[in-house]
């Protein structure tokens, strides 16, 4: 093979490699463009979470951290001006009634239960830092405890208690985040995290 032929072959191979890299780069850019978060969004542990995500929080008083972002930035506003609350999340099969000083109320009708998830809650918003991060924490294991934190000076009673692993099976709560200008919002349901530590099997029920 002559030197010119070898150079020509090398040039063709190099061109093919560069073309493949270019195609992969364009494809990667397109995938990122069409799958990136649009508008207001939340991250947990560096992953974007949506209303379809299975979000589970620790419930022994540990802080659970989230970060607010926006695909187009916040313009003249600051991300710390976002309003963050914890609100009820209950479909018709999980809604229930309770009483506050003897007066009946509906869980789904409550507009704000943040006091059960933020010890420094001021009644307006869970504090958001300048980098968009905020946290929630709770050690309350029953719905009565949660609602009692919302109504600290009143008596809350429930006919049928909900709590413990119930909070791990269904997301009774949701993060509600509103943009500084009030034009955008996201609602992210969440549940409690429970680790499966073991399963007991009934040997008599096992068919071999």
Which pLDDT tens digit goes with each residue over 100-153? Answer: 999 999 999 999 999 999 998 999 999 999 999 999 999 999 999 999 999 999
Contact 82, 124 (CB under 8 A): no
Buried/exposed 134-150: b ≥16 CB within 10 Å, e otherwise = bbbbbebbebbebbbbb
CB atoms within 10 A of CB 74: 18
b/e code 106-115 from CB counts within 10 Å (16+ = b): ebeeeeebbb
Separation of alpha carbons 188 and 165, rounded Å: 20
pLDDT value, residue 3: 56
Q: For residue range 165-193, what is the model confidence (pLDDT) as tens digits?
A: 999 999 999 999 999 999 999 999 999 99
Is the C-alpha dihedral spanning 153, 113, 194, 42 positive or negative? Answer: negative
| 97 has a pLDDT exceeding 50 | yes
Residue 28 has φ and ψ, to the nearest 5°, of -65, -40
Whether the pLDDT of residue 37 is over 70: the answer is: no
More confident residue, 201 or 104: 104
Whether 208 has a pLDDT exceeding 50, the answer reads no
Please provide residue 12's backbone torsions phi and psi, each rounded to the nearest 5 degrees. Answer: -65, -45
Nearest of 136, 6, 133, 125 to residue 58 by alpha carbon: 136
Q: What are phi and psi of 132, to 5 degrees?
A: 90, 0
Check if the beta carbon of residue 72 is closer than 8 Å to that of residue 48.
no
* 8 three-class SS: helix
Report the C-alpha gap between 145 and 126 in whole angstroms.
19
DSSP alpha helices (H): ranges in 36-163?
143-150
pLDDT band at 197 (very low <50, low <70, confident <90, very high): very low
């Amino acid at each position: 093979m002559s030197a010119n032929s070898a150079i020509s072959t090398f040039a063709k191979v190099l061109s093919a490699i560069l073309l493949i890299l270019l195609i992969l780069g364009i494809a990667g850019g397109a995938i990122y463009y069409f799958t990136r978060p649009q508008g207001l969004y939340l991250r947990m542990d560096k992953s974007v979470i949506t209303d379809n995500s299975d979000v589970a929080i620790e419930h022994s008083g540990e802080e659970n951290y989230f970060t607010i972002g926006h695909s187009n930035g916040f313009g003249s506003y600051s991300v710390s001006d976002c309003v963050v609350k914890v609100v009820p999340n209950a479909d018709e099969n999980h809604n229930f009634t309770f009483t506050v000083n003897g007066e009946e109320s509906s869980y789904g009708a409550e507009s704000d239960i943040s006091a059960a998830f933020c010890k420094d809650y001021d009644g307006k918003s869970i504090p958001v830092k300048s980098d968009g991060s905020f946290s929630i924490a709770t050690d309350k294991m029953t719905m009565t405890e949660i609602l009692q934190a919302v109504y600290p000076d009143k008596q809350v009673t429930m006919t049928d208690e909900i709590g413990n692993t119930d909070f791990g099976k269904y997301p009774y709560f949701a993060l509600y985040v509103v943009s500084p200008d009030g034009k955008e919002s996201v609602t992210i349901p969440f549940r409690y995290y429970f680790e499966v530590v073991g399963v007991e099997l009934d040997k008599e029920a096992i068919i071999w």
